[in-house]
Amino acid sequence: MSKGCKLRRISLFLVVWCLSVSGVAAQSNETVAYVQEALQELGYDPGTADGAWGRRTRTALNEYRATFDLPETEDVTGSSLYLLHRAVAAGQTLPFPGRVLEGMEDRAAYLQLRGVVRERHCNNRLNLRSVGANWTPVTRFSESDVSFSGPSPIGSEDWSQTIAEGLSVATANCVSGDTAQCDVLWSYLKKWPVANGLTTGTRKTENSENFNHAAYLANSVLQPLVFATAIVVEAQDPPMAELGPFLDWLYDRVNQFYFISDRNTLVGDTDNTLARHEALAAVLPSMTLGAFIGDVELFERGFPQFEAALLSQRADGSFPTATKRGSLALHYSGLQLSYLFAIAEIAKSQDFDLYEVKWPKGQDLHRAITYMLRGWSNWGKHVLKYAGENEDAPMTPSSAVIDTFTYGFGWLPVYARRFENHPNLSLMNGVSIDPVVCSPAHIAEGRIDRAWCAQAGPPPLTLRAMLLDNSPKVAVFNPAMGFNAGCFLSQSEDLF
């Protein structure tokens, strides 16, 4: 375990002592002390390794950076940590710097396949576009709109999701050995620091729900940007003169948008806001960048959120922060699960196994999935009793809309890979979607798309058919998870 962040087992669950709720400084005393110790070991003179940033430490660090043709810096940067963690392993260094997912060689072999299998898992027949040579970075944005410095393939409403999708498809192609796609991907990545991408006028202040929203959009882009960078570096090993500025920009933006509001915005929601899906999203860029550059402090930011979400779980497996979203309760439950699996997978890449943690009241991901299965099959019995609590629901709690059932399945390929013999996977084969979804009354009232119901087939509509056989609108791909889960983590043609 690290010296800086003490990850301990207390009772039967995890407690992380070194991270605050509202944010972590970009350069803590522990990080500075590591930099000083590493520079000393490399033969430089940063002064006493006391964790205090000063002139001697800055001078020594810049002397070290000069050997890689990197410009001088005023503080600790991403490229500096990237180089030091690879040169000097210490308490702040992860065991496998650069590894952001387990089994990347197996993933590369799988992605070299073509045809229905790869299309199902990578694109899910949604015709997702890869990053193109003419794509431009997002420059200044707010929580509600975005402007661009040049021509862009994306619109103002779905910009973050579209970028995440494009990056995921391009990254998968690069992993598969498509060198031309690797070239295009790296060319696109290098544009972001040049354009000073992802700046925002929204102020970062306590209880700022506006900034919380802006951070959610930014983090939806930042995590796949970090993931794509890790893949490009593994595939092409770009020179530090090119990689360094991008890592410095990433490090700055990841710390800027690591922000979790402690304001409860849902009516009746008294749960720890660390458990909200926005809080889980906020830590994914930090965890991925930490794994890539090898830095423990960034990496361990995800553990308090993972813990908070699991400890908030009810006895039936439901998450309060998700089920209080009215008619979108299962949609947000799926997002919650996808984020939790993403955190667990990134942790696993560095040999931290969150799947094996025993929580005090038996809370676990299996129980959450069992609840989802029950909710799909009988919305009124299992979901409405919770969804009705929230008067601020996006739609009336009794409304059954297709978004409730068809999005947020990014967890499924991960689950099928990690727990291939779990009874939940067998149950999915026989789960029928609540008939109320495509009932004549809901079609007549406009609560459900008539064409979707016709395409989905006659009742009973099974979850298996909905996911694998009938509708191109149902995506195992989940950009909110930060990477294409089906593409990078599925094991075989049949997901369950």
Where in the chain are the domains? 1-93, 94-489
Tell me: the pLDDT tens digits for 368-400? 999 999 988 888 888 888 876 554 444 555 666
Tell me: the pLDDT tens digits for 42-52? 999 999 999 99
Tell me: the pLDDT tens digits for 328-361? 788 889 889 989 999 999 999 999 999 999 999 9
Query: Which pLDDT score, from 0 to 100, does residue 27 have?
Result: 66
In sequence order, the β-bridge partners of residue 138 are 148
Whether pLDDT at 466 is above 60: yes
Stretch among 65-69, 149-153, 182-186, 226-230 having the lowest mean pLDDT: 149-153
* Beta carbons of 275 and 332 less than 8 angstroms apart: no
Average pLDDT (89-107) is 90
Query: Which pLDDT score, from 0 to 100, does residue 41 have?
Result: 96
Query: Which pLDDT score, from 0 to 100, does residue 413 have?
Result: 81
Query: Which pLDDT score, from 0 to 100, does residue 36 have?
Result: 96
Query: Which pLDDT score, from 0 to 100, does residue 143 have?
Result: 73
What architecture (CATH level 2) is domain 94-489?
A: Alpha/alpha barrel (1.50)
In sequence order, the β-bridge partners of residue 235 are none
Tell me: the pLDDT tens digits for 74-89? 999 999 999 999 999 9
Tell me: the pLDDT tens digits for 162-217? 888 888 888 888 988 899 999 999 999 999 999 999 998 888 875 566 787 788 88
**The model scores a pTM over 0.75:** yes
pLDDT mean across residues, the chain: 80
